[in-house]
Structure 1
Amino acid sequence: MPIIKPYFIVNASRFASTIASGTGTGATFEIAATAFTDDTGAPATAFPTTYSYYNLYINGMIQTDDTSTVTTAEITIPNGDTLADQTPVFIEFVTT
C-alpha cells in the first residue's frame, strides 16, 4: 500500500507596523489594526475574524503566547510602550 502524505492548505495574512503607532501605557498599550499595513503595503482596516493561530514578531523575534492579545480591532502588548519607537512589529495570522 502506498504512503499518502496529508496535504494541508495553509494561508497566512501578515501585517507590519512599529511601536510608535501604539497608544496607552503599561498593561493597556495597544496598536490599532488600522496602524498596520498588509502584505501588499495597503493600510489594514481590521485583523482577520477567523484564524487558527497568530504569530507576533517584535524586532524580528517571535514572541511567546503570553506576550499579547489580539482582536479584530487591535493588538495589546503589555509594556510595549517601553520599547523604542522604531521597533518593528509583525503579526502573522495563519489559517489551515
Structure 2
Amino acid sequence: MAIIKPFMASRKFSSTIGSGTGTGVTFAIAATAFTDDAGAPATAFPGSFAYYVLYINAQPQTADTSTITTTTITIPGGDVLDGATPILIEIVVN
C-alpha cells in the first residue's frame, strides 16, 4: 500500500506569455521569468508535487495544454497569444 503524505500546500507562480521563448510546440516560459507567492523572483518550480494547474488569462487549462519541469513550463502554441496575457501556475506540493 502506498504511503499518503499528510501535508498538502500550494505554491503559486505568475508571469505573462510575453516572457516565453520559442514557437509552436517548443514555446516555453522559464521558471526564472515568474514571481512566487511572496512577489520574489522564482528560481525554480518544485521538483516534487502532487499536481499543478495552469491558468491562462484566469482560465484553468486542461492537462494536455502544458508540461512542467523544475526549470520551465512548456505551452505548445502559446506563442500565438498576446504577450500581455497573464499566466498563473498553482503547484500543489506534498
| Same fold (TM > 0.5) | yes
Alignment of 1:67-86 (within 5 A): 67-86=65-84
Inter-partner Cα distance in structure 2 for 1:65 and 1:84: 21
- Give the % identical residues: 62
Could you say which residue in structure 2 is the equivalent of 1:43? 41
Residue-by-residue CA offset, 1:4-23 (whole Å, 9 max, x unaligned): xxxx5420000000000000
2:61 to 60, 63, 68: 63
User: Secondary structure, in 3 states, of the residue corresponding to 1:38?
Assistant: coil
Could you say which residue in structure 2 is the equivalent of 1:4? none
- In angstroms, what is the RMSD of aligned CA positions? 0.8
Amino acid at match of 2:23: T
For structure 2, list consecutive stretches of 5 or more residues without a partner in the other structure.
1-5
Amino acid at match of 1:69: T
How much does 1:86 deviate? 0.3
List structure 1 segments (4+ residues) > 3 angstroms apart after TM superposition. none
Q: How many residues align?
A: 89
User: Secondary structure, in 3 states, of the residue corresponding to 2:43?
Assistant: coil
Amino acid at match of 1:74: T
